[in-house]
Amino acid sequence: MIYDEQLAERIRRYFSNHDGVVEKQMFGGLAFLVDGHMCVGTNGRRLMARVGPRHYERALKEMYTSIMDFTGKPLKGFVYVEPEAITSDSSLHKWIRHCEHFVRSLPPKGD
């Protein structure tokens, strides 16, 4: 498992006062789950962002984003965000807030 520890720490700080957040190794990196749903994570130096199907095409039009194809097939509703797009905490937090908003709209997963 390879991921950017500094990016992971920045994500941890964002979620430090949020309920229902768990870290889990998945997608070859480190993911942050909200109410049991993958929200964001880090794989290598990239941010894995779950934007949801409704905002997927729009997210792919943003600079420094690409299709998340970890399994060899595109994961609809998930994008990779390159480090150039998340250099500041405000830019990173914008992505996380968007993903968290989508994930919290889903029903909580059971154990």
Domain extent for 82: 5-104
The reply to whether 88 falls in a domain is yes
Count structural domains, the chain: 1
Task: Kindly state whether residue 109 falls inside one of the protein's structural domains.
Answer: no
Q: What is the pTM of this model?
A: 0.92
Q: What is the pLDDT of residues 29-60, one digit of tens each?
A: 999 999 999 999 999 999 999 999 999 999 99
Q: What is the mean pLDDT of residues 82-103?
A: 97
- Asked if residue 53 is part of any domain, the answer here is yes
Query: 7 vs 29, 59, 97, CA distance in Å?
Result: 11, 20, 15
- How confident is the model at residue 27, as a pLDDT? 79
Q: Residue 108 gets which letter from DSSP?
A: P
Q: Answer whether residue 69 is part of any domain.
A: yes
d(CA 50, CA 98): 9
Per-residue model confidence as pLDDT tens digits over 53-92: 999 999 999 999 999 987 788 888 999 999 999 999 999 9
What CATH number corresponds to the domain at position 74? 3.90.1150.30
- Predicted local distance difference test score (pLDDT) of residue 111: 57
